[in-house]
Amino acid sequence: MWVALTIIGILFLLLLGFLITPIVLYIDTDEQRYEVRQLPAFKFFVDASTLKPQLKFLGFPIPITGWKKGKKVKSAVKKSAPDEKRNRGFRKSFAAWRFLVQRTIRSFTIKRCTLLVDTDDVTLNAKLTPVCVLASRGPFLVQTNFEGRVYFHLEIFNRPGRLLWIFLQFLTKK
């Protein structure tokens, strides 16, 4: 009995940890890092030297190769009469779909966004400097430089628990 309760407790804590631990989208052009991760569960990234996507699950590399398409088996499809009412499947109102899209987009949090741009035109860079100062607010940093360097850094995160809650709300809406 105690062993079963302990195992159920550990599984519950792991599930809770998965729902609370944020999933992070990390893009950095200087370091050539492009990854989606939820440490320690998984890390999906593109290797800069080979440009191949890689996946690590619980620290173990999982090979990603092209999946072979299986042959489709043709099955006999029953044709329904035109008078018969068909089951249209998963139908929701436009307001419910709009709710899902808006809430999903709003649930993401931008931790840091940096953009350094050089237009190769000194006067245009000088004219863009005050605009970049006005555009730099909070986690956003926009700057011009005169070094010929273009740099982009983005960190966005979201918690799976938020996405699950939004999806459950979507399912209950008409």
How far from 29 is each of 33, 34, 81, 116, 154, CA to CA, in Å?
Answer: 7, 8, 58, 11, 9
- The neighbour count for residue 162, using CB atoms within 10 Å, is 18
Q: Which residues pair with 18 in a beta bridge?
A: none
Query: Residues 119-171: pLDDT tens digits?
Result: 888 899 889 999 999 989 989 999 998 888 889 999 999 998 899 999 999 98
CB 144 within 8 A of CB 119: yes
* Two structure tokens written together for 109: 């949090």
Burial 122-150 (b: 16+ CB within 10 A, else e): eeebeebeeebeeeeeeeeebbbeeeeee
Sheet of strand 60-62, all strands in order from the earlier edge strand to the far edge: 60-62, 53-57, 42-46, 33-38, 23-28, 151-158, 109-117, 140-144
CB 155 within 8 A of CB 24: yes
Phi, psi of 167 (to 5 degrees): -65, -40
**How far is residue 143's CA from residue 118's CA, in Å, rounded to a whole number?**
9
pLDDT at 146 (0 to 100): 84
What is the value of pTM for the model shown? 0.67
Cα torsion 159, 162, 165, 170 to 10°: value is -110
The DSSP element (H or E) to which 115 belongs, if any, is: strand 109-117
* Two structure tokens written together for 15: 């599930």
Q: Which residues pair with 144 in a beta bridge?
A: 117
Query: Residues 49-96: pLDDT tens digits?
Result: 777 888 888 888 888 876 566 566 566 555 555 555 565 666 778 888
